[in-house]
A = this chain, B = another copy of it.
Amino acid sequence: VRSVPIADYDPSAFPPFAVTVDLVVLTVHDGVCNVLLVERGVDPYAGMLALPGGFVRADEDLPDAARRELVEETGIAVSRVHLEQLGSYGTPARDPRMRVVSVAYLVLAPALGPVQAGTDAATAQWVPVTKALRSKLAFDHRRVLADGVERARAKLEYTTLATSFCAKEFTITDLRRVYEAIWGVELDPRNFHRKVMATEGFVTEVAGATVSTGGRPAQVFRAGPAPTLHPPLVR
Q: What residues make up the interface of A, taking CB atoms closer than 8 Å to B?
A: 1-2, 5, 7-9, 11-12, 14-19, 41-42, 54-62, 72, 85, 87-92, 95, 97-101, 103, 118-120, 231-232, 234
Judge whether B62 and A88 touch: CB under 8 Å. yes
Secondary structure call for the A interface: loop
In chain B, what residue has the closest Cβ to A60? B92
Report B-chain residues with C-beta under 8 Å of the C-beta of A234. 231
Number of copies: 2
Judge whether A59 and B92 touch: CB under 8 Å. yes
A218 to chain B, nearest CB (A): 31
Report B-chain residues with C-beta under 8 Å of the C-beta of A231. 234
Which one of B2, B12, B87 contacts A98 once the chains associate, using CB atoms below 8 Å?
A: B12
Judge whether A101 and B11 touch: CB under 8 Å. no
Q: Which of A42, A56, A88 has the most CB of B within 10 A?
A: A88
